[in-house]
């Protein structure tokens, strides 16, 4: 099979599989609240008496770009559990080197950004070997390139969610060595409002 045809079949299979799992949605489809809601997930933790809600995972600029984002929230079903409630707009930022993302900007205003993790997916050395994050210093000058995921999150309130459900969000994530820009459609936030409304007072089954 020619390589181009093989690659096309591989991508098509991945897209079908991702959609079937009910997790991943391309950004161009994130304008449709009903579609995003369909691929969202809800789980109830009986031990914590907490409902965990998670939106579909959106691939920014399509599946060829490894940057992705989603919304997640916890809603406690008891007064004690409710004190742990939170909501986050979560970004997984992929790069071929470290950017040390730690700031977010909207309309010139800097927003508090939580840095959650920085992981080297893989690093290639001149000898063809791989270096884990813990081994990067040891690799030294032999290091050629890393594939890196940096996870950051923006805390949201329900008032924020309601506002963004009408306007969407244009946001820049900045770091020491680079920036990434996201234009997140209003329908994405609207879908999460719908999900919260469906599971506000009752545990997920």
Q: Which residues pair with 174 in a beta bridge?
A: 103, 179
How many structural domains is the chain composed of?
A: 1
The verdict on residue 205 lying in a domain is no
Q: How much is the pLDDT for 168?
A: 96
Q: How much is the pLDDT for 127?
A: 62
Host domain of residue 111: 26-198
What mean pLDDT do residues 31-43 have?
A: 92
Question: Alpha carbon of 135 to those of 1, 4, 139, 151: distances in Å?
Answer: 39, 36, 6, 20
pTM score above 0.85: no
Question: Alpha carbon of 109 to those of 32, 103, 105, 173, 199: distances in Å?
Answer: 28, 10, 5, 12, 33
CB count within 10 Å of CB 69 equals: 25
The verdict on residue 139 lying in a domain is yes
pLDDT, tens only, 15-28 = 333 333 347 888 78
């Amino acid at each position: 099979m020619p390589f181009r045809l093989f690659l096309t079949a591989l991508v098509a299979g991945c897209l079908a599989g991702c959609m079937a799992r009910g997790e991943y949605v391309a950004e161009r489809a994130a304008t449709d609240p009903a579609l995003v809601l369909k691929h969202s997930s809800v789980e109830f933790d009986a031990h914590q008496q907490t409902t965990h809600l998670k939106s579909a995972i959106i691939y920014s600029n399509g599946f060829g770009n490894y940057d992705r984002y989603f919304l997640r929230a916890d809603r406690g079903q008891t007064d004690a559990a409710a004190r742990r409630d939170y909501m986050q707009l979560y970004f997984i930022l992929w790069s071929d080197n470290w950017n040390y993302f730690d700031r977010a900007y909207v309309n010139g205003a800097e927003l508090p950004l939580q840095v959650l993790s920085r992981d080297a997916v893989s690093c290639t050395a001149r000898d063809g070997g791989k270096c884990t994050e813990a081994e990067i210093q040891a690799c030294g000058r032999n290091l050629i390139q890393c594939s890196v995921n940096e996870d950051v999150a923006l805390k949201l309130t329900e008032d924020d969610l309601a506002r963004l459900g009408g306007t969407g969000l244009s946001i820049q994530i900045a770091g020491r060595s680079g920036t990434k820009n996201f234009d997140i459609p209003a329908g994405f936030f609207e879908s999460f409002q719908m999900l919260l409304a469906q599971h506000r007072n009752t545990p997920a089954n």
